[in-house]
Chain A
């Protein structure tokens, strides 16, 4: 990654929504929302900027399942959390040929949520048994399912972050 600004500019050119968030409260630096057809371009941009894939997972909300990607960087403290919506029964493109580690993460997401990754070479059950392929254990029941607005960060007045954590941050900035 050449510089943080150039990286952010490169992401903005992809016309994804990008916003900086409070690391002390959220544990990551940049929040990205994108459409389901932007996933591959976004992943390529992350690879070009030398990020590594932390995980891929999903979150079941109304109206659609969100696929969540987290990336971090080996030399610059920059953690990126990205979301893409995929309607139930729809497909989302795989990134397993860009980040090879995504292979297992996508298979796990298929196990737990039934999300189909288009172009994945081997989308067989990974952690669940073959017989339980239709179990989708992390999908919420109708009663438990929340609207997407209810689980979004409300921007409420932040409570005091852990004192020690704050000191650590300040020291890291100074050095």
Chain B
């Protein structure tokens, strides 16, 4: 691949990619300075779906912000629920019964698998492979059915509550989840044959969009992108929240930090999530699913922070309380925001077709970036 192009003056032109472009996966615009087929300078333009969630969080009692959390990253909403209730519990000192924590872990991990499945299909669709999305959406549909039964919704979940979860899981849910784990494990070999050994896919993804560990640090890249670059950093291991320290699971890492490694890491992460779910179902304690939490939660003065590992990386909520029910300041740090900010540096001097690969491998969710 050429990293430097022979640019003569006035030869470059501007190309708009998006906001209505299938491979931006939402209303993201990228203004590309082009020289023929080579990208000289890609600049993302954000804000098309900005809704000012932080302002909404600062203008209502903290409980009433819960539905908003599921509407930022609608593909992987439960970790967003998790981070917010975790923050409120930390700030206000609310206890959570063990059963509730286990249910949170089970449902969050199911949601992570569903999110990675959606990405798998969409990423390969970007590369021109139509078939994988049929398989991955078939699998994902199973999870949506399972989660719909207990959360009441298929995408924008609002299932967690400060002190626990909205309702207990049923035997049907447990049976369905176990059946899904069994089914999903038999599917990995299909994906392996269909995708991972496909020479066209490998040629398109290998060596494309290499993120070095140093670059990741400078931009604050987290999640599967960072782990693809060989850094074993996962909030579930590093700062174990909820009951993640009870489970035995690995953090898959890549070697080269290219798009192919990001693919491999996410597929392996799905297997690890299944391991976590299985252990959590085996160890699921009896007891209440919702602990005692005051109806009006007073947030004591001072700041607190809570980070969780969402499907795309580190999600951090930062709260400043003033003793009232309403947060004085609520900051939401979303993973894709920092992940996408690496694009102008990463996309310099590459082919336009490779830019599509890179953005596909990033697993972007635009409503999350714009908030």
Q: How far is the CA of A81 from the CA of B319 in the complex (A)?
A: 12
The prevalent SS among residues of B at the interface is: mixed
Scoring B residues 304 to 341 as 1 if CB is less than 8 Å from chain A, else 0, what string do you get?
A: 11110000001010101111000011010100011001
Q: How far is the CA of A162 from the CA of B316 in the complex (A)?
A: 18
Q: Which residues of A contact B242 (CB under 8 A)?
A: 164-165, 168
Cross-interface CB contact of B233 among A70, A74, A99, cutoff 8 Å: A74
Scoring B residues 62 to 99 as 1 if CB is less than 8 Å from chain A, else 0, what string do you get?
A: 00000000000000000000000001011111111010
A residues contacting the other copy or chain, number (CB 8 A)? 55
B residues contacting the other copy or chain, number (CB 8 A)? 63
Chain A CB within 10 Å, residue with most, of B89, B239, B342 = B239
A163:B46 contact, CB within 8 angstroms: no
Is A11 interfacial (CB 8 A cutoff)?
no
A151:B98 contact, CB within 8 angstroms: no
Cross-interface CB contact of B341 among A57, A70, A104, cutoff 8 Å: A104
Is B19 interfacial (CB 8 A cutoff)?
no
B318:A57 contact, CB within 8 angstroms: yes
A161:B90 contact, CB within 8 angstroms: yes
CB-nearest residue of chain A to B240: A168
B54:A112 contact, CB within 8 angstroms: yes
Is B231 interfacial (CB 8 A cutoff)?
yes
B92:A164 contact, CB within 8 angstroms: no
Is A68 interfacial (CB 8 A cutoff)?
yes
Q: Which residues of B contact A7 (CB under 8 A)?
A: none
- Within B176-208, the residues touching A (CB, 8 Å) are none
Distance from B285 Cβ to chain A, minimum over Cβ atoms (Å): 10
A to B CB contacts below 8 Å, 10 in the list? A50-B217, A55-B318, A55-B333, A70-B318, A100-B218, A100-B345, A101-B219, A127-B46, A160-B95, A168-B243
A interface, CB within 8 angstroms of B: 24-28, 47, 50-55, 57, 59-60, 68, 70, 72, 74-75, 77, 79, 81, 99-101, 103-104, 112, 125-129, 137-138, 146, 150-154, 156, 158-165, 167-168, 171-172
